Amino acid sequence: MTIKARVRGVGGYVPEKILSNDDLAAIMDTSDAWIVSRSGIRQRHQADAELNVSDLAVRAAKKALEHAGMSIAEIDLIVVATSTPDHTFPATAAYVQHKLGSTHGAAFDIQVACSGFVYGLSVVSAMIESGQAKGALLIGAELMTRLLDWEDRSTAVLFGDGAGALVLCADDVAPDAPQVINSYIRSDGQFAKLLYTTGGAGSTGTAGTIYMEGREVYRHAVTNIAEAICTLLDTSGFEIDDIDWFVPHQANKRIIDGVARKIGLPPEKTVLTVADHANTSAASIPLALDMAVRDGRIKPGDMVMTEAMGGGLSWGANLIRWS
């Protein structure tokens, strides 16, 4: 038996307000047909101005705790993956901890753009396996619509707001029991210029807006993500056919389809939310997990493969046997 991280609950939250492609076509030179054909996106959610990202994170976290049947008292680690923190410091996780009524344990943010959830699961699992945490909340939460240049139609149509959360607990498990099996994370900063925000607290003093060389990002995405999945399967002793559910970062349906084709995964095993949520960056994977667990697709014992690529460039994947 070995101490591993086990998923105990999942929750998601998207703001009520919806912006359809037609809504965007009313304010910029674009069309529903162009957006759907290039990205698979039909709409995105947008938070009202009074909500901070910690508010979205708390809503998702509460649902995940309820799903787990656990109280905040049992959580000794809160990690928030976000590129849109409430403030430059303290960590948004500190606000989340307070809003959830906790005064114990550790709370910190990680910022790896769209790969934040995949990196977060790698970090949280390792902390649980090493005995540094027993009960963890991993939350991906983003207000991506606040990082957009609404004059730039090539990025403004691609992103949305939302949050998703996982509750993970330490468990003494046999090799074939539910657990986070393994993760693979990579980065290559020489490609940072392909996808970044034009500002930062330590440079311009503002958050900036998203700049992306779409075609180049697309080219790297399919190759890097396929490499991450194949390496992770290989090092963990599994094969493509062992995957029951493919839960990718929901950036773009064409990237997701391209990866699935390249690694030989049948489309019916893919969980897709990109049409309804657009790209919610670090929130997209836990939001998709939440949907597929609640609609009964992902069941206990199922093998789940996640993946993401984003600014950095950063990329990675997680292999989970679901609880």
Q: Which is nearer to ligand ACO, 225 or 243 (CB)?
A: 225
**Is the preceding peptide bond at 90 cis, omega within 30 degrees of 0?**
yes
- Binder among 254, 269, 294, 297 for ligand ACO (CB under 6 A): 254
133 binds ligand ACO (CB under 6 A): no
Q: How far is the CB of 257 from ligand ACO (least distance, A)?
A: 11
User: Applying CB under 6 A, what is the total number of residues that bind ligand ACO?
Assistant: 24
Cβ atoms of 41 and 278 closer than 8 Å: yes
Q: Which residue has the tokens 């691609």?
A: 158
Output the residue with the shortest Cβ distance to ligand ACO. 214
CB of 30 to ligand ACO, least distance (A): 3
Query: Of residues 134, 153, 294, 297, which one binds ligand ACO by CB under 6 A?
Result: 153
| Strand extents, DSSP E, 60-114 | 77-81, 106-110
- Rounded Cα distance between 161 and 261, Å, is 28
* Four-point Cα dihedral 152, 274, 187, 3, nearest 10: 150
| Among the listed residues 77, 91, 144, 217, the single contact to ligand ACO using CB under 6 A | 217
| Residue 42 makes contact with ligand ACO by CB under 6 A | no
Name residue 67's amino acid.
Answer: H
Using DSSP, state whether 67 is helix, strand or coil. Answer: helix
Annotated catalytic, 169? no
- Whether cis (ω within 30° of 0) applies to the bond prior to 289 is no
Three-state SS for 55? helix
Q: Nearest approach, Cβ of 286 to ligand ACO (angstroms)?
A: 15
- In DSSP terms, which residues pair with 248 in a beta bridge? 307
Give the count of beta carbons closer than 10 Å to the beta carbon of residue 130: 9
Active site residue 52: no
| Nearest in space to 45 (alpha carbons), one of 291, 275, 251, 277 | 277
Instruction: State which H helix or E strand residue 306 sits in.
Output: strand 303-310
Residue closer to ligand ACO, measured from CB, 33 or 73? 33
Q: Which one, 254 or 297, has the nearer CB to ligand ACO?
A: 254
Rule CB under 6 A: which of 292-311 touch ligand ACO? Answer: 309-310
Which listed residue (45, 67, 249, 277) is catalytic? 249
Residues that bind ligand ACO (CB under 6 A): 30, 34-35, 38-39, 114, 153-154, 157-158, 195, 212, 214-215, 217-218, 221, 249, 251-252, 254, 279, 309-310
Which residues carry out catalysis? 114, 249, 279
